[in-house]
Amino acid sequence: MNTTTDSHSMLPAQFQRVVSGMRPTGNLHLGHYHGVLENWVRLQHEYECFFFVADWHALTTHYEDPSVIESSVWEMVIDWLAAGVNPSSARIFIQSQVPEHAELHTLLSMMTPLSWLERVPTYKDQQEKLKERDLSTYGFLGYPLLQSADILAYRAGQVPVGEDQVAHVELTREVARRFNHLYGKEPGFEEKAEGAAKKMGKKNAKLYHRLRRSFQEEGDHEALATARALLESQQNITMGDRERLFGYLEGGGKVILPEPQPLLTPASKMPGLDGQKMSKSYNNTISLREDPVEVERKIRTMPTDPARVRRTDPGDPAKCPVWEFQKVYTDDGTRSELAEGCRSAGIGCLDCKQHVIDGVLRELAPMRERAQKFAEDPILVRSIIEEGGELAREEAKRTMVEVRQAMGLVY
């Protein structure tokens, strides 16, 4: 457990900020929905959320053929909206329309050791995996640092990511820690922190000092936790003062960039039509706006338990890709009947698949309806993104004022 600068991630949920991005590299499918999007839709009611189209990140791998990015951006936003991401709950925007991400990336790059980037596992992995692309670029090496800038620009507390992205959040934490260590000592920090403590009132200030001493002199972590709770409950101090007091508590400087936590996205239970992971490159997807006729065709032609050659051959659900879909779409009662029917050859595979077809169509119908509304009204979609971008810029600008000041860039 980190005890230096994770003050933000210890705030109650509704005060915490969540930031996440998605690269626009094609249209979204059920795998995205059951993994990322369903999670976002839930989070938007619990946290202050910032969700963005990571077009610069897409460019790091698609710089030679950026047209797919251009055509995917709006489609992806429509998919988000269709899936239930709600622009009145979450700010949704496009990364490249908030230049503060780039500015912060540049500034962070000055103090990020090259070795930290070289040892991020995705760096070598992706270069190996995407052999057909030349990823020996400056931009690709900087991919996780750009991601750090995305996160730190909003001083996010939580970052919903898949398992493969946890290392990027870890890097973000290290970069933030280094930044605060290097630049968190504003002139007169101690006096300012003492001044801030006084603003909490005599009693609270005294308690704060006592807890601070217990932590610093005796390493009492309970005292640290109590002091943090005390700071969180203060209504009368400014954000800046609160951060000074958080920093002062632990002997460091002001926390300018708080360390975020990864919020692991539960792995999607949704495999592809062939039982492998659902992915465009395996050609085994059902997209969120798939035509119902296509949905039906794709599911009807799914492979089943290879032992069930004829209708009269008994099967084993455990060996059938369709069964993974039943687990997502069918209730327990129906499912045990279907399993029984499969094992006894009492039902045919098409009878079984019909339940999946119905389930998928039921799930996609409202999405298709919403998507259509947005697809027919590009001005509405643009205005949603415009508005989200404005709110995002406002927040990112606030961070950059402090970052520039801390680095001595205010002339």
Which parts of this chain interact with ligand TRP (CB under 6 A)? 19-23, 54, 57, 147, 150-151, 159, 161, 165
**Which of 43, 286, 320, 360 is the binder for ligand SF4 (CB under 6 A)?**
320
By beta-carbon proximity to ligand SF4, the closer residue of 347 and 360 is 347
Cβ-based neighbours of 201, under 8 Å, separated by 6 or more: 236
DSSP state of 4: S
By beta-carbon proximity to ligand SF4, the closer residue of 271 and 317 is 317
Question: Looking at the chain, how many residues does it have?
Answer: 411
The least distance separating ligand TRP from the CB of residue 296, rounded to whole angstroms, comes to 31
The least distance separating ligand SF4 from the CB of residue 354, rounded to whole angstroms, comes to 10
**Which of 258, 317, 388, 389 is the binder for ligand SF4 (CB under 6 A)?**
317
By beta-carbon proximity to ligand SF4, the closer residue of 9 and 284 is 284
By beta-carbon proximity to ligand SF4, the closer residue of 92 and 342 is 342
53: which strand partners? 22, 94
Q: Which stretch binds ligand SF4 (CB under 6 A): 54-62, 84-92, 110-118, 301-309?
A: 301-309
Range 336-358 burial, b when 16+ CB lie within 10 A, else e = eebbebbeeeebbbeebbebbbe
The least distance separating ligand SF4 from the CB of residue 271, rounded to whole angstroms, comes to 13
Closest CA to 243 of 198, 180, 187, 188: 180
Q: Which amino acid is at 4?
A: T
By beta-carbon proximity to ligand TRP, the closer residue of 25 and 354 is 25
CB 384 within 8 A of CB 81: yes
Distance in angstroms (rounded) separating the CA atoms of residues 27 and 287: 7
Distance in angstroms (rounded) separating the CA atoms of residues 377 and 387: 16
The footprint of ligand SF4 on residues 98-137 (CB under 6 A) is: none
Closest CA to 274 of 239, 233, 320: 320
Distance in angstroms (rounded) separating the CA atoms of residues 364 and 157: 32
The least distance separating ligand SF4 from the CB of residue 32, rounded to whole angstroms, comes to 24
Closest CA to 315 of 324, 305, 325, 323: 305
Distance in angstroms (rounded) separating the CA atoms of residues 295 and 329: 14
| Partner interacting with residue 322 (select from ligand TRP, ligand SF4, none; CB below 5-8 Å by kind) | ligand SF4
**Which of 353, 357, 367, 384 is the binder for ligand SF4 (CB under 6 A)?**
353
Count of CB atoms within 10 A of residue 189's CB?
Answer: 16
- Asked if 296 interacts with ligand SF4 (CB under 6 A), we say no
DSSP state of 251: T
- Asked if 158 interacts with ligand SF4 (CB under 6 A), we say no
The least distance separating ligand TRP from the CB of residue 80, rounded to whole angstroms, comes to 14
**Which of 244, 308, 392, 403 is the binder for ligand SF4 (CB under 6 A)?**
308
Instruction: Give me the residues that bind ligand SF4 (CB under 6 A), please.
Output: 304-305, 308, 315, 317, 320, 322-323, 342, 347, 349, 352-353
